[in-house]
Each structure stands twice: as C-alpha cells, then as structure tokens.
Chain A
Amino acid sequence: MTRPRIEPLIWLNFSAGGVTAAVFLPVLAFLFAFAFPFGWIDAPSHEHLVSVIGNPITKLALFGLFVVMLVHAAHRFRYTLYDGLQIKEKGLIAVLCYGSAAIVALASIPVLLSV
C-alpha cells in the first residue's frame, strides 16, 4: 500500500499561490507601497479601510490569499536554495521554509481580527 503523500498538495498550493501572487500582488504593492504613501493617488481614509478590511468576507479572502502565497513562496524558495545555491541540507531547509510560512500565516489571524 502506498503512503498518502503531501507533496502533490503542496504543488497544487504552489500553483494556486503563483496565480494569486501574479494577479493580486502588482496592484496591492503598487497602491500600498508607492501610490498611497507618495500621494500619487489620494490615500483612503482610515474609516474606509476599517470598513473594507473589517468585513468578514474581506478577512477570509485576505487570509486565503496570504496562506496560498506564503506556501507558494516557501515551496519555491526551498528549491531555490536546494538547486540554485546548492545547499543540500534538505530536511533543515524544508523545516525552515514551511516553518516560517506557517508562523506568518498563524500570525496573520490576530492581525486580521484586530481590524
């Protein structure tokens, strides 16, 4: 009997996170890293942001986006270290990559609930 493997699920998440990052991050990064801080576009009021982020649907959507993007990043960075930089401590790399993704994902829950 073959042991159920988690690897295909991680690859599935890798693809989901890749699409999500490709489609969502350019606009989010442009608005929140440049356009609003530098006043290229008028920054939204605090009240408006609270009402948008405070909506449970937004929170759930953001949590989903963050989780798939974090797992995507962890999985890809794992292979970058392994194949790119030829670091062969396989187990340690996997623990560090997925571990940090899990920590940030967990930390995002209280952050999202704080709004």
Chain B
Amino acid sequence: MTTQRAYVRPMSTFWWVKKRSYFIFVMRELSSLFVAWFVFYLLLFISAVGRGGEAYQDFLVGAKYPAVVVINVVAFAFIVLHTVTWFSLTPKAMVLTIRGQRVPAIVILGAQYAALVAVSAFVYWLVTR
C-alpha cells in the first residue's frame, strides 16, 4: 500500500524580500529581537546601579560608545515599529462592544496612544523627580 503525501512547494528563505508588505511583516516580527535587547540593556543598567555610583557613571559613558549607539538606534527604530504596528493591530484582533455597539477602531487606537503618553509621563516623572 502506498501512502499519498501532499506536495509541499519549496519556499525560499528570502520569500519576504520580494514584496513590500511581506518585508514589513517580517521586520515587524523581527522587532521581538530588539524588545529582548532592551530588556537585556535595562538589566545591565540596573546591575550598574546596584554596583554603585561609579559603575552607574561608567554605564552612562559606555552607552555612548559608537557600537552601542548603533545598536540602540537600530533597536529604537524597531521599537517604534513595534509600537505603531501593535497599536494598529489591536482593533483588528480585539472586538470591543459597548451596549451592543462595536467600539470603532479609531477609539481603541486613540486610547492606546493616550496610554502611551500617560505611561511615558509617569516613567519620566518617576526617574527624574
């Protein structure tokens, strides 16, 4: 008896460079790597604070090394991409209804940007006050 297997069309590793929307999709997914980078970076920062005032100053100097700046600039661009794409995705993934009426996408979008502003202001106040 022979078993039949469906034909799986081979796909190239770089299938996503041919079309703009595919490319943005992969870049969006790749932002995950830079989320992890900033968690790691913040841990290095907290560890420096834990080692004392001098280590903290050294960290601030180290953050200006060209290699670190390049990584951080690229990572920051990916974080912005993550924030923007995540916010615009939410109204599509989450259907909110209030009194039987679907909450319009623009309201969910606005609420998220408001949250971003509020959280940013709070963090800024907490670390600089």
Bin chain A's interface residue count.
35 or more
Query: Could you tell me the distance in whole angstroms from the C-beta of B108 to the nearest C-beta in chain A?
Result: 12
| B contact residues, total (Cβ < 8 Å) | 54
Query: Could you tell me the distance in whole angstroms from the C-beta of B58 to the nearest C-beta in chain A?
Result: 11
Which of A25, A32, A83, A114 is close to B45, meaning CB atoms less than 8 Å apart? Answer: A32
Cross-chain contact A53 with B49 (CB below 8 angstroms): yes
Cross-chain contact B80 with A28 (CB below 8 angstroms): no
Q: Contacts A29-B75, A31-B123 known; A21 to B49 CB distance under 8 Å? A: no
The A/B interface has a contact count, at CB < 8 Å, of: 154
Minimum CB distance partner of A50 in chain B:
B49
Tell me the interface secondary structure of chain A in the complex.
helix
Tell me the interface secondary structure of chain B in the complex.
helix
Contacts of B29 in A (CB 8 A): 76-77, 79-80, 83-84
A9 beta carbon closer than 8 Å to chain B? no
Contacts of A79 in B (CB 8 A): 29
Cross-chain contact A70 with B36 (CB below 8 angstroms): yes
Cross-chain contact B32 with A104 (CB below 8 angstroms): no
Q: Mark B20-31, 1 if CB is under 8 A from A, else 0.
A: 000000100111
